Amino acid sequence: TKVRIYLLLHLYSVLTGLLSLSEQNAKLSKYEVKIEDLQTHDQEQNAKLAKNEVRIEELQTLNQAQASELKSLKTRTNVTENQVESLRRDRAVGQVAFSASLLASGYGTLGPINAHTTLVFKHVVSNIGKAYSPHTGFFTAPVRGAYHFEFYIVSHGGSQPSGVVLVKNGEHVFMVAEHQSNGHGTGANGATLLLEAGDVVFLRLWENRVIFDNENHHSTFSGHLLFPM
């Protein structure tokens, strides 16, 4: 009987040990599955990370390309702005013209005077570019270019003739003169001149000559820039 009990106990212990080992193997199998799952997940994460790194590199490349394009656009914009400003300056420089008559109001005859006298045309009807001064009678060229000038004079008939000279930097260019015994005498002349910036053009009443004007503004001086050079 004792032997039988011993055998039963031994068999029980063996069976118990086998059952415990089986459970351990089952748990180990579960752990192995979990480890495989974790490894698979880790591989997936590494793959995603690699894709993200590639995407980041692509974005960096795209950003560099966009920065380069932006710099190029800024350069082109600056060039365009400079061209527009240059065109604006050229246009502003090209806007030079004036026209004025001798008297601002009333009527009267200037002369005769026994010396050459600068004529100051005070009634200004246009002065684009402000190159003409109604205080001095001088037109000062703002830019090198070709300019055209015209001048008209009127005088009463009588013993005193009329004579006016177009002057450039103190030098005689063209003259207009007239003389008749009665009525009103008129004369006109004009010239196209190449002027440097700062050159001065004006009209001069010749010595012992006369010029007349009234509210109808007969005696006039006009000029304008044809084109810069």
CATH 1.25.40.10 is held by the domain 96-228? no
Q: What is the pLDDT of residue 114?
A: 94
Q: What is the pLDDT of residue 104?
A: 93
Rounded CA-CA distance 123/126 in Å is 9
Q: Are 203 and 167 in contact (CB under 8 A)?
A: yes
Q: Where are the domains positioned within the chain?
A: 1-93, 96-228
Q: What is the pLDDT of residue 45?
A: 84
Residues lower than pLDDT 70 in the chain:
1-28, 31-35, 84-93, 157, 183
Distances (CA, A) of 119 to 55, 73, 108, 160, 163: 81, 56, 14, 18, 12
Q: Is 61 helix (H, G, I), strand (E, B) or coil?
A: helix
Rounded CA-CA distance 124/143 in Å is 21
